[in-house]
Amino acid sequence: MVGVFPEHRPRRLRGTAAIRRLVSETTLRPRQLILPMFVAEGADAPKPIASMPGVVQHSRDSLRKAAVEAVRAGVGGLMLFGVPRTHDAVGSGATDPDGVLNVALRDLRAELGDDTVLMADTCLDEFTDHGHCGVLDSRGGVDNDATLQRYAEMAVAQAEAGAHLLGPSGMMDGQVGVIRKALDGAGYAETGILAYSAKYASAFYGPFREAVDSQLNGDRKTYQQDPGNAREALREIELDVAEGADIVMVKPALSYLDVVSAAAQASPVPVAAYNISGEYAMVEAAAANGWVDRERTVLEVLTSISRAGADLILTYWAAEATAWLD
Ligand code: PBG
Protein backbone atom coordinates (compact mmCIF):
# COMPACT_ATOMS: atom_id res chain seq x y z
CA MET A 1 0.00 0.00 0.00
CA VAL A 2 1.18 3.45 -0.85
CA GLY A 3 -0.53 5.07 2.13
CA VAL A 4 -2.33 8.34 1.53
CA PHE A 5 -1.64 8.55 -2.22
CA PRO A 6 -3.22 9.65 -4.45
CA GLU A 7 -4.27 12.62 -2.40
CA HIS A 8 -6.73 13.84 -5.03
CA ARG A 9 -9.39 11.58 -6.49
CA PRO A 10 -11.44 13.27 -9.25
CA ARG A 11 -12.97 9.88 -10.02
CA ARG A 12 -15.21 10.26 -6.92
CA LEU A 13 -17.46 12.54 -8.97
CA ARG A 14 -17.69 10.00 -11.79
CA GLY A 15 -18.60 6.90 -9.80
CA THR A 16 -22.34 6.72 -10.47
CA ALA A 17 -24.71 8.09 -13.07
CA ALA A 18 -26.43 10.05 -10.32
CA ILE A 19 -23.29 11.87 -9.21
CA ARG A 20 -22.23 12.50 -12.82
CA ARG A 21 -25.62 14.10 -13.46
CA LEU A 22 -25.27 16.17 -10.32
CA VAL A 23 -22.02 17.80 -11.39
CA SER A 24 -22.66 17.98 -15.14
CA GLU A 25 -21.79 21.49 -16.36
CA THR A 26 -23.43 21.55 -19.76
CA THR A 27 -27.07 20.83 -20.40
CA LEU A 28 -28.41 20.90 -23.93
CA ARG A 29 -31.84 22.44 -24.21
CA PRO A 30 -34.08 21.59 -27.18
CA ARG A 31 -35.05 25.26 -27.38
CA GLN A 32 -31.52 26.24 -28.28
CA LEU A 33 -31.53 23.98 -31.35
CA ILE A 34 -32.47 25.37 -34.74
CA LEU A 35 -33.37 23.11 -37.65
CA PRO A 36 -32.17 24.16 -41.13
CA MET A 37 -34.58 23.04 -43.87
CA PHE A 38 -34.50 23.06 -47.68
CA VAL A 39 -37.47 23.67 -49.95
CA ALA A 40 -37.34 23.06 -53.70
CA GLU A 41 -39.44 24.99 -56.17
CA GLY A 42 -41.99 22.92 -58.05
CA ALA A 43 -41.18 19.67 -56.21
CA ASP A 44 -44.15 17.43 -55.60
CA ALA A 45 -42.40 15.11 -53.15
CA PRO A 46 -39.43 15.34 -50.79
CA LYS A 47 -36.17 14.46 -52.53
CA PRO A 48 -33.32 12.87 -50.54
CA ILE A 49 -29.92 14.58 -50.46
CA ALA A 50 -27.44 11.75 -51.00
CA SER A 51 -24.57 13.31 -49.06
CA MET A 52 -26.84 14.15 -46.11
CA PRO A 53 -28.70 10.93 -45.30
CA GLY A 54 -31.98 11.75 -43.57
CA VAL A 55 -32.12 15.33 -44.91
CA VAL A 56 -34.31 16.19 -47.90
CA GLN A 57 -35.20 18.95 -50.29
CA HIS A 58 -38.81 19.47 -49.30
CA SER A 59 -41.80 20.15 -51.47
CA ARG A 60 -44.01 23.03 -50.38
CA ASP A 61 -46.35 20.56 -48.73
CA SER A 62 -43.82 18.30 -47.06
CA LEU A 63 -42.02 21.36 -45.69
CA ARG A 64 -45.17 22.53 -43.98
CA LYS A 65 -45.72 19.13 -42.38
CA ALA A 66 -42.11 18.63 -41.32
CA ALA A 67 -41.95 22.14 -39.88
CA VAL A 68 -45.06 21.60 -37.78
CA GLU A 69 -43.65 18.30 -36.53
CA ALA A 70 -40.28 19.83 -35.63
CA VAL A 71 -41.91 22.68 -33.75
CA ARG A 72 -44.18 20.25 -31.93
CA ALA A 73 -41.13 18.18 -31.02
CA GLY A 74 -39.70 21.30 -29.39
CA VAL A 75 -36.98 22.76 -31.61
CA GLY A 76 -36.26 26.41 -30.94
CA GLY A 77 -36.50 27.66 -34.51
CA LEU A 78 -36.32 26.89 -38.22
CA MET A 79 -33.81 28.22 -40.77
CA LEU A 80 -35.06 28.03 -44.35
CA PHE A 81 -33.09 27.68 -47.58
CA GLY A 82 -34.68 27.85 -51.02
CA VAL A 83 -33.78 25.75 -54.04
CA PRO A 84 -35.14 27.60 -57.07
CA ARG A 85 -35.88 25.99 -60.43
CA THR A 86 -34.11 28.69 -62.41
CA HIS A 87 -31.05 30.83 -61.75
CA ASP A 88 -29.79 34.10 -63.20
CA ALA A 89 -26.92 36.54 -62.80
CA VAL A 90 -28.52 38.64 -60.06
CA GLY A 91 -30.50 35.93 -58.31
CA SER A 92 -33.93 37.34 -59.17
CA GLY A 93 -35.73 34.53 -57.37
CA ALA A 94 -34.42 35.84 -54.06
CA THR A 95 -36.39 39.06 -54.22
CA ASP A 96 -39.44 37.79 -56.11
CA PRO A 97 -42.37 37.58 -53.66
CA ASP A 98 -43.32 34.41 -55.55
CA GLY A 99 -39.79 33.00 -55.29
CA VAL A 100 -39.52 29.62 -53.59
CA LEU A 101 -38.07 30.88 -50.31
CA ASN A 102 -40.51 33.75 -49.88
CA VAL A 103 -43.47 31.51 -50.65
CA ALA A 104 -42.25 28.98 -48.09
CA LEU A 105 -41.80 31.69 -45.45
CA ARG A 106 -45.35 32.89 -46.04
CA ASP A 107 -46.66 29.31 -45.77
CA LEU A 108 -44.86 28.62 -42.52
CA ARG A 109 -45.71 31.94 -40.92
CA ALA A 110 -49.37 31.31 -41.73
CA GLU A 111 -49.13 27.78 -40.34
CA LEU A 112 -47.04 28.48 -37.24
CA GLY A 113 -47.58 32.15 -36.44
CA ASP A 114 -45.30 33.16 -33.59
CA ASP A 115 -45.10 29.62 -32.15
CA THR A 116 -41.59 29.28 -33.47
CA VAL A 117 -38.78 31.57 -34.61
CA LEU A 118 -38.80 31.56 -38.38
CA MET A 119 -35.46 32.36 -40.02
CA ALA A 120 -34.31 32.70 -43.60
CA ASP A 121 -30.95 32.53 -45.32
CA THR A 122 -30.41 36.02 -46.72
CA CYS A 123 -27.93 35.24 -49.47
CA LEU A 124 -27.92 35.08 -53.24
CA ASP A 125 -25.88 31.93 -53.90
CA GLU A 126 -28.86 29.61 -54.10
CA PHE A 127 -30.39 31.89 -56.73
CA THR A 128 -27.48 32.93 -58.96
CA ASP A 129 -26.41 31.07 -62.11
CA HIS A 130 -22.73 31.46 -61.16
CA GLY A 131 -23.36 30.28 -57.61
CA HIS A 132 -21.61 33.17 -55.86
CA CYS A 133 -23.13 34.87 -52.83
CA GLY A 134 -23.32 38.20 -54.65
CA VAL A 135 -23.49 39.81 -58.06
CA LEU A 136 -20.37 39.93 -60.23
CA ASP A 137 -18.45 42.89 -61.63
CA SER A 138 -17.18 43.07 -65.22
CA ARG A 139 -14.09 41.04 -64.36
CA GLY A 140 -16.01 38.25 -62.67
CA GLY A 141 -15.22 39.29 -59.09
CA VAL A 142 -17.95 39.57 -56.47
CA ASP A 143 -19.04 43.22 -56.34
CA ASN A 144 -19.49 44.05 -52.65
CA ASP A 145 -21.55 47.22 -52.87
CA ALA A 146 -23.77 46.15 -55.76
CA THR A 147 -24.48 43.00 -53.76
CA LEU A 148 -25.52 45.03 -50.71
CA GLN A 149 -28.28 46.61 -52.77
CA ARG A 150 -29.63 43.14 -53.62
CA TYR A 151 -29.40 42.03 -49.96
CA ALA A 152 -31.43 45.06 -48.92
CA GLU A 153 -34.17 44.11 -51.38
CA MET A 154 -34.01 40.46 -50.38
CA ALA A 155 -34.26 41.33 -46.69
CA VAL A 156 -37.38 43.40 -47.17
CA ALA A 157 -38.99 40.63 -49.26
CA GLN A 158 -38.23 38.08 -46.52
CA ALA A 159 -39.51 40.32 -43.74
CA GLU A 160 -42.64 40.94 -45.77
CA ALA A 161 -43.02 37.15 -46.19
CA GLY A 162 -42.95 36.67 -42.42
CA ALA A 163 -39.42 35.83 -41.31
CA HIS A 164 -38.70 36.76 -37.67
CA LEU A 165 -34.92 36.67 -38.11
CA LEU A 166 -32.85 37.15 -41.25
CA GLY A 167 -29.55 35.35 -41.67
CA PRO A 168 -27.20 37.25 -43.96
CA SER A 169 -24.58 34.63 -44.84
CA GLY A 170 -22.71 36.19 -47.77
CA MET A 171 -19.85 37.82 -45.83
CA MET A 172 -20.08 41.11 -47.75
CA ASP A 173 -18.68 44.12 -45.90
CA GLY A 174 -21.46 46.24 -44.47
CA GLN A 175 -24.23 43.70 -45.05
CA VAL A 176 -25.71 43.90 -41.57
CA GLY A 177 -25.88 47.70 -41.58
CA VAL A 178 -27.48 47.87 -45.01
CA ILE A 179 -30.06 45.23 -44.12
CA ARG A 180 -30.87 46.92 -40.80
CA LYS A 181 -31.42 50.24 -42.56
CA ALA A 182 -33.56 48.67 -45.30
CA LEU A 183 -35.73 46.85 -42.75
CA ASP A 184 -36.22 49.94 -40.62
CA GLY A 185 -37.00 52.04 -43.68
CA ALA A 186 -39.65 49.58 -44.87
CA GLY A 187 -41.41 49.39 -41.50
CA TYR A 188 -39.81 46.15 -40.27
CA ALA A 189 -38.04 47.44 -37.19
CA GLU A 190 -39.15 44.30 -35.33
CA THR A 191 -37.48 41.89 -37.76
CA GLY A 192 -34.13 40.80 -36.34
CA ILE A 193 -30.75 39.87 -37.78
CA LEU A 194 -28.90 36.65 -37.04
CA ALA A 195 -25.60 37.58 -38.65
CA TYR A 196 -23.26 34.96 -40.02
CA SER A 197 -20.42 37.07 -38.68
CA ALA A 198 -17.45 34.73 -38.68
CA LYS A 199 -17.97 32.46 -41.63
CA TYR A 200 -15.01 30.51 -42.92
CA ALA A 201 -14.20 29.33 -46.46
CA SER A 202 -14.68 25.72 -45.44
CA ALA A 203 -14.45 22.39 -47.24
CA PHE A 204 -17.16 21.17 -44.88
CA TYR A 205 -19.85 22.97 -46.93
CA GLY A 206 -19.53 20.22 -49.56
CA PRO A 207 -22.83 18.43 -48.94
CA PHE A 208 -24.72 21.75 -48.70
CA ARG A 209 -23.74 22.47 -52.30
CA GLU A 210 -25.63 19.32 -53.30
CA ALA A 211 -28.51 20.25 -51.00
CA VAL A 212 -29.12 23.52 -52.85
CA ASP A 213 -28.07 22.36 -56.35
CA SER A 214 -25.25 24.90 -56.19
CA GLN A 215 -24.05 26.33 -59.51
CA LEU A 216 -20.67 27.32 -58.04
CA ASN A 217 -17.41 26.68 -59.84
CA GLY A 218 -14.43 27.64 -57.73
CA ASP A 219 -14.51 28.91 -54.17
CA ARG A 220 -15.60 31.77 -51.91
CA LYS A 221 -12.18 32.74 -50.58
CA THR A 222 -12.47 36.43 -51.52
CA TYR A 223 -15.34 36.87 -49.08
CA GLN A 224 -15.32 34.01 -46.57
CA GLN A 225 -12.55 33.87 -43.95
CA ASP A 226 -9.29 31.97 -44.06
CA PRO A 227 -9.53 28.92 -41.75
CA GLY A 228 -6.24 29.87 -40.10
CA ASN A 229 -7.44 33.22 -38.82
CA ALA A 230 -9.03 33.80 -35.42
CA ARG A 231 -8.44 37.51 -34.89
CA GLU A 232 -10.48 38.66 -37.86
CA ALA A 233 -13.45 36.68 -36.57
CA LEU A 234 -13.58 38.96 -33.56
CA ARG A 235 -13.33 42.00 -35.80
CA GLU A 236 -16.21 40.74 -37.96
CA ILE A 237 -18.30 40.15 -34.84
CA GLU A 238 -17.53 43.62 -33.50
CA LEU A 239 -18.49 45.21 -36.81
CA ASP A 240 -21.72 43.23 -37.07
CA VAL A 241 -22.76 44.16 -33.55
CA ALA A 242 -22.02 47.81 -34.30
CA GLU A 243 -24.10 47.55 -37.48
CA GLY A 244 -27.08 46.14 -35.59
CA ALA A 245 -26.78 42.35 -35.43
CA ASP A 246 -29.13 40.89 -32.79
CA ILE A 247 -27.31 37.55 -32.73
CA VAL A 248 -23.89 36.69 -34.16
CA MET A 249 -22.84 33.35 -35.58
CA VAL A 250 -19.68 31.34 -36.06
CA LYS A 251 -19.65 28.81 -38.89
CA PRO A 252 -18.66 25.98 -39.21
CA ALA A 253 -18.75 24.88 -35.58
CA LEU A 254 -16.56 21.86 -34.88
CA SER A 255 -13.28 22.97 -36.40
CA TYR A 256 -13.82 26.45 -34.95
CA LEU A 257 -14.71 25.84 -31.29
CA ASP A 258 -11.88 28.16 -30.27
CA VAL A 259 -13.59 30.90 -32.27
CA VAL A 260 -16.96 30.05 -30.71
CA SER A 261 -15.36 30.31 -27.29
CA ALA A 262 -13.69 33.65 -28.04
CA ALA A 263 -16.94 34.97 -29.53
CA ALA A 264 -18.88 33.91 -26.44
CA GLN A 265 -16.47 35.89 -24.28
CA ALA A 266 -16.36 38.97 -26.47
CA SER A 267 -19.92 39.28 -27.74
CA PRO A 268 -22.53 41.43 -25.99
CA VAL A 269 -25.27 39.61 -27.97
CA PRO A 270 -26.16 35.89 -28.11
CA VAL A 271 -23.78 33.66 -30.06
CA ALA A 272 -24.94 30.97 -32.47
CA ALA A 273 -22.85 28.24 -34.08
CA TYR A 274 -23.73 26.34 -37.25
CA ASN A 275 -23.07 22.61 -37.10
CA ILE A 276 -22.88 22.39 -40.88
CA SER A 277 -23.55 19.87 -43.62
CA GLY A 278 -20.06 18.34 -43.75
CA GLU A 279 -20.02 17.89 -39.98
CA TYR A 280 -23.35 16.12 -40.27
CA ALA A 281 -22.20 13.96 -43.19
CA MET A 282 -19.01 12.92 -41.41
CA VAL A 283 -20.87 11.52 -38.41
CA GLU A 284 -23.62 9.96 -40.52
CA ALA A 285 -21.09 8.20 -42.74
CA ALA A 286 -19.15 6.83 -39.80
CA ALA A 287 -22.33 5.75 -38.02
CA ALA A 288 -23.67 4.06 -41.15
CA ASN A 289 -20.49 1.99 -41.20
CA GLY A 290 -20.90 1.09 -37.57
CA TRP A 291 -17.71 2.95 -36.69
CA VAL A 292 -19.29 5.25 -34.10
CA ASP A 293 -22.45 5.12 -32.04
CA ARG A 294 -24.73 7.59 -33.79
CA GLU A 295 -26.79 8.97 -30.90
CA ARG A 296 -23.85 9.28 -28.53
CA THR A 297 -21.72 10.95 -31.16
CA VAL A 298 -24.40 13.44 -32.14
CA LEU A 299 -25.07 14.41 -28.53
CA GLU A 300 -21.34 14.72 -27.87
CA VAL A 301 -20.96 17.00 -30.90
CA LEU A 302 -23.83 19.24 -29.79
CA THR A 303 -22.71 19.26 -26.16
CA SER A 304 -19.21 20.30 -27.21
CA ILE A 305 -20.54 23.22 -29.23
CA SER A 306 -22.63 24.30 -26.26
CA ARG A 307 -19.70 23.87 -23.84
CA ALA A 308 -17.56 26.09 -26.08
CA GLY A 309 -20.08 28.85 -25.46
CA ALA A 310 -22.72 28.77 -28.19
CA ASP A 311 -26.12 29.89 -26.95
CA LEU A 312 -27.85 28.61 -30.09
CA ILE A 313 -26.93 25.75 -32.39
CA LEU A 314 -28.09 25.27 -35.96
CA THR A 315 -28.02 21.55 -36.64
CA TYR A 316 -29.63 19.10 -39.05
CA TRP A 317 -30.11 16.84 -36.01
CA ALA A 318 -32.25 19.42 -34.19
CA ALA A 319 -35.55 17.52 -34.34
CA GLU A 320 -34.03 14.15 -33.55
CA ALA A 321 -31.81 15.47 -30.76
CA THR A 322 -34.82 17.18 -29.26
CA ALA A 323 -36.56 13.82 -29.02
CA TRP A 324 -33.49 12.22 -27.43
CA LEU A 325 -33.20 15.00 -24.87
CA ASP A 326 -36.76 14.53 -23.72
C1 PBG B 1 -24.70 30.45 -48.12
C2 PBG B 1 -24.71 29.38 -47.11
C3 PBG B 1 -23.94 28.20 -47.11
C4 PBG B 1 -24.32 27.48 -45.98
C5 PBG B 1 -25.30 28.21 -45.32
N6 PBG B 1 -25.51 29.39 -46.02
C7 PBG B 1 -22.99 27.67 -48.11
C8 PBG B 1 -21.75 28.37 -48.43
O9 PBG B 1 -21.40 29.40 -47.86
O10 PBG B 1 -21.08 27.88 -49.32
C11 PBG B 1 -23.74 26.15 -45.59
C12 PBG B 1 -24.52 25.35 -44.60
C13 PBG B 1 -24.03 23.96 -44.46
O14 PBG B 1 -23.00 23.57 -45.04
O15 PBG B 1 -24.69 23.19 -43.74
N16 PBG B 1 -26.00 30.78 -48.55
Encode pLDDT of 74-98 as tens digits: 999 999 999 999 999 999 999 999 9
pLDDT band of 182, cuts 50, 70, 90: very high
Residue-level pLDDT at 290: 98
209 among annotated binding-site residues: yes
Instruction: Name the phi and psi angles at 292, rounded to 5.
Output: -140, 160
Residue-level pLDDT at 82: 98
Ligand 1 midpoint to CA 205 (Å): 6
Is residue 280 helix, strand or coil?
A: helix
Give yes or no for residue 2 having a pLDDT over 70: no
What angle, rounded to 10 degrees, do the helices at 100-112 and 144-161 form?
A: 30
Q: In testing the pocket of ligand 1, which one of 132, 204, 208, 213 has its CB within 8 Å of the most ligand atoms?
A: 208
Instruction: For the chain, give the percent of residues with pLDDT over 90.
Output: 98
**Could you identify the atom of ligand 1 that is nearest to the CA of residue 125?**
16
Pairing of strands 56-58, 47-48: antiparallel
Residue ranges and CATH numbers for the domains of the chain are 27-325 (3.20.20.70)
Residue-level pLDDT at 135: 97
Pairing of strands 77-83, 117-122: parallel
Q: Is 230 exposed, middle or buried (0-12, 13-18, 19+ CB in 10 A)?
A: middle
DSSP secondary structure of 34-51 = EEEEEEETT-SS-EE-TT
By the 8 A CB rule, do 32 and 38 touch?
no
Question: pTM above 0.90?
Answer: yes
125 lines ligand 1 (CB under 6 A): yes
Query: How many Å apart are CA 36 and CA 43, to the nearest integer?
Result: 18
Instruction: Name the phi and psi angles at 70, rounded to 5.
Output: -65, -40
Residue-level pLDDT at 217: 87
Q: Is the ipTM of this complex over 0.90?
A: yes
200 among annotated binding-site residues: no
Catalytic residue ranges: 199, 251
Residue-level pLDDT at 326: 80
pLDDT in tens, 123-175: 999 999 999 999 999 999 999 999 999 999 999 999 999 999 999 999 999 99
Residue-level pLDDT at 5: 87
Ligand 1 midpoint to CA 311 (Å): 20
pLDDT in tens, 232-288: 999 999 999 999 999 999 999 999 999 999 999 999 999 999 999 999 999 999 999
277 lines ligand 1 (CB under 6 A): yes
**Could you identify the atom of ligand 1 that is nearest to the CA of residue 206?**
14
What is the DSSP secondary structure assignment for residue 290, as one 8-state letter? T
* 184-to-9, 192, 261, 268, 290 alpha-carbon distances in Å: 58, 10, 32, 22, 51
Rounded to the nearest integer, the mean pLDDT of the chain is: 97
Give yes or no for residue 115 having a pLDDT over 80: yes
Please name the residue ranges forming H helices in 80-191.
100-112, 144-161, 175-185
Helix (H) or strand (E) holding 231: helix 231-243
Residue-level pLDDT at 1: 59
Exposure string (b/e) for 50-86, b if CB count within 10 Å is 16 or more?
ebbeebbbbbbebbbebbeebbebbbbbbbbbbbbee
